[in-house]
Amino acid sequence: MKKFLFIILTSIFAIMWNTVSSQTGESRVLIIGIDGLRSDCLQAAETPAIDALIADGIYSPDALNNDITYSGPGWSAMMCGVWSDSHGVTSNNFTGSNFEGFPSFMNRLETENTDLNTHSICHWAPINDYILGDDADDALNVSTDAEVANAAMAILESGNPHALFLHFDDVDINGHGYGFNPGVAAYMNTIETTDGYVAQVISSLTARPNYASENWLIILSTDHGGIGVSHGGTTIEEETIFFIASGASVATDIIVKDTLDILPPPANCIAPGSAELRFEGSGDIVYIEDAPELQLGSSQDFTLEVRIRTEATPDVAIIGNKDWDSGLNPGFVFSFEYPGGPAWKVNIGDGNARADAIGAAGISDGLWHTLSCSFDRDGMMRLYTDGIFSSEEDISGIGGIDVGSGWFFGSDILGAYSYSGAIAEVRFWHGILSDDAISDWHCSALDAGHPNWESLQGHWAMTEGAGPEVTNNTSSELVGTLQGPEWQQPESLITFDYSNTPRIVDIAVTAMDHMCLDVNPDWNLDGISWVDGCNSLDLDDTQREELRTVVYPNPGAVDFQIKGISPQASIEVFDPSGRSIHHGQPGESTRIVPHTSGPGVYLIRIIDGENRRTLRWIRQ
């Protein structure tokens, strides 16, 4: 009888142990967050450690944080698996957070099994102070990225971690300091330095005595991108992130955005087909040296007009003559509503007082728009968007606005607050243009028929297409000197579909699925899992799953297969030279053998009912 009881108790214990171990014991997760790392800059940088993770797992350069692109909401979404309407964080002050209702993935792991060893090491302290500090067994804030790596290595070499989160901050710091752009050396160098820290951490991880049996999943991502020296807006440069899930149990895959449509170049009603002068948000300027013709004093009425084409509306200086670090500073500036648009604005100040007027929204659509502002110095400042009146503001209390530093297109007078996009057709008039004149001529080339032709002081069409200068068409004076912007011929607009790619909220759910934590539908998580975990719930049974089409193996050597399409789908394959090498329907089989042998990137265009996809297969 005692023996029988012992067998029963042993069986019960074994069942309980198997349940706990299946949820926590043999699966472990390392999440590495690199703050403010733009996906395209990761691709451009030399990052051998991160490249090795990509080669051994799932990689998407086109993942999204398409919510609020500040760090507070971004890291909250990553850690909790829900968007800001659930976790409640909308800024970096964490006011309104709802982590009780939507706790972090570490909280859920610890709630399931308190024997887990969970760690969080952060360079940006608010992640631990507000999100993870009370959830992890060990939450450590440090002051450098090197300290993050050293602390992680110590835990991996001498501890027994089950879940480990690391936050590196230097990339974001340098993005704010110098620019989030692949052409900015300081930013790119920091990415490569951070890759060195990742290499150290991975080396310590793989050197663990039981590494082969611990089933580690390594997830690497970021909270947002950036444009110019800031983020927080809704441009694709700010919303695009990367997603890497790497490990021995992860099938390799590359997940990219799909091409929806290719549109002709944006129409330019004033100079059709002309070249554009493009500013890339990294201190690019056109500089016009100070001259008597540019002096406006405290009483000169004037009107300014400029045409722009952009997809971003951060706090920048489009054209102006002031230090834009404060709106009180003397001078004027065309900008966007703080902090990220979507409306444009004009500011004028004299050192003691300021006035601001807001124009229309909707101009960050990649098309050309004309922004006009008349300045009645003892009356109103009036704004017009594409010839239509937008708003006005009293500027009668603003005094002298001359600075003596010249005029700048693309940045402020210190080369800061840099604009991204094209600028053209800058018109500078003495006097106030009427509503009719602004409306009638906002999309017409200037000539002597303009009612204010004699008052035109400066006209920079900016359509030269080559050379280091832009000409003032009113005289040989006031020539603009290019310092950074480049002439480009306008290209076709490509529209993309991101519905097939990961989201920042997927990271927490992917981690929990790998750790075999049963994800309760009542948690109302927004994320899905990208790994083959052991959940009883099909975590990718969501609306996004209907749009997921996967090519595997990817990369491959001989052939590939396609999952997620119907037998009636139309498939066309293009080799790396752009030649069509396969066209047909999959029928009962989705296995395709390209009839060429060259390595490179093959494009796969799929039409499946109303869904269109363009996938990429890498042939090694």
> What mean pLDDT comes out for the span 378-387?
97
Between CA 416 and CA 282 the distance in angstroms is 8
Same domain for 172 and 297, yes or no, is: no
- Do the domain assignments include residue 6? no
Same domain for 480 and 522, yes or no, is: no
- Do the domain assignments include residue 362? yes
Per residue in 418-446, pLDDT (tens digit) is 999 999 999 999 999 999 999 999 999 99
- Do the domain assignments include residue 271? no
> What mean pLDDT comes out for the span 99-106?
97
**Residue 526's CATH number:** 3.40.720.10
- Do the domain assignments include residue 475? yes
> What mean pLDDT comes out for the span 7-23?
34
Contact 320, 415 (CB under 8 A): no
Same domain for 412 and 445, yes or no, is: yes
> What mean pLDDT comes out for the span 15-44?
75
Between CA 527 and CA 219 the distance in angstroms is 15
**Residue 574's CATH number:** 2.60.40.3080
- Do the domain assignments include residue 266? no
Q: Identify the residue with better confidence: 319 or 9.
A: 319
Answer whether residue 547 shows pLDDT above 60.
no
Same domain for 285 and 189, yes or no, is: no
Answer whether residue 537 shows pLDDT above 60.
no
By mean pLDDT, which of 24-33, 305-314, 323-332 is the weakest?
24-33
* 135 φ/ψ angles, rounded to the nearest 5 degrees: -100, -40
Per residue in 267-320, pLDDT (tens digit) is 899 999 899 999 988 789 999 999 999 999 999 999 999 999 998 888 899 999
- Do the domain assignments include residue 353? yes
Between CA 459 and CA 480 the distance in angstroms is 11
Contact 172, 156 (CB under 8 A): no
34 forms bridges with which residues in the sheet? 168
Answer whether residue 546 shows pLDDT above 90.
no
Which among 427, 491, 444, 420 is positioned nearest to 265, based on CA atoms?
Answer: 491
> What mean pLDDT comes out for the span 344-353?
97
Same domain for 302 and 379, yes or no, is: yes
- Do the domain assignments include residue 9? no
Same domain for 150 and 250, yes or no, is: yes
**Residue 472's CATH number:** 2.60.120.200
Residue 339's pLDDT band, with cuts at 50, 70 and 90, is confident
Same domain for 388 and 409, yes or no, is: yes
Segments forming the whole domain that contains residue 286 = 276-488
294 forms bridges with which residues in the sheet? none
Between CA 69 and CA 563 the distance in angstroms is 32
Burial class from Cβ neighbours inside 10 Å (0-12, 13-18, 19+) for residue 148 reads buried
Per residue in 165-185, pLDDT (tens digit) is 999 999 999 999 999 999 899
- Domain total for the chain? 3
What's the pLDDT at 595? 64
Answer whether residue 491 shows pLDDT above 80.
no
* 613 φ/ψ angles, rounded to the nearest 5 degrees: -135, 145
Give the three-state DSSP class for 437. helix
Sole residue written with tokens 């056109």: 286
Same domain for 178 and 199, yes or no, is: yes
Same domain for 376 and 515, yes or no, is: no
Same domain for 63 and 97, yes or no, is: yes
Which among 570, 610, 602 is positioned nearest to 586, based on CA atoms?
Answer: 570
Cα 480 from chain centroid (whole Å) = 32
Percent of the chain with pLDDT strictly greater than 90: 71
Question: What is the residue-averaged pLDDT of the chain?
Answer: 88
Residue 564's pLDDT band, with cuts at 50, 70 and 90, is confident
Same domain for 574 and 480, yes or no, is: no
Tell me the angle at which helices 48-55 and 185-206 cross, rounded to the nearest 10 degrees. 60
What's the pLDDT at 545? 44
Same domain for 479 and 507, yes or no, is: no
- Do the domain assignments include residue 38? yes
By mean pLDDT, which of 21-35, 126-140, 471-485, 596-610 is the weakest?
596-610
Helices within 280-369 (DSSP H only): none
Residue 8's pLDDT band, with cuts at 50, 70 and 90, is very low
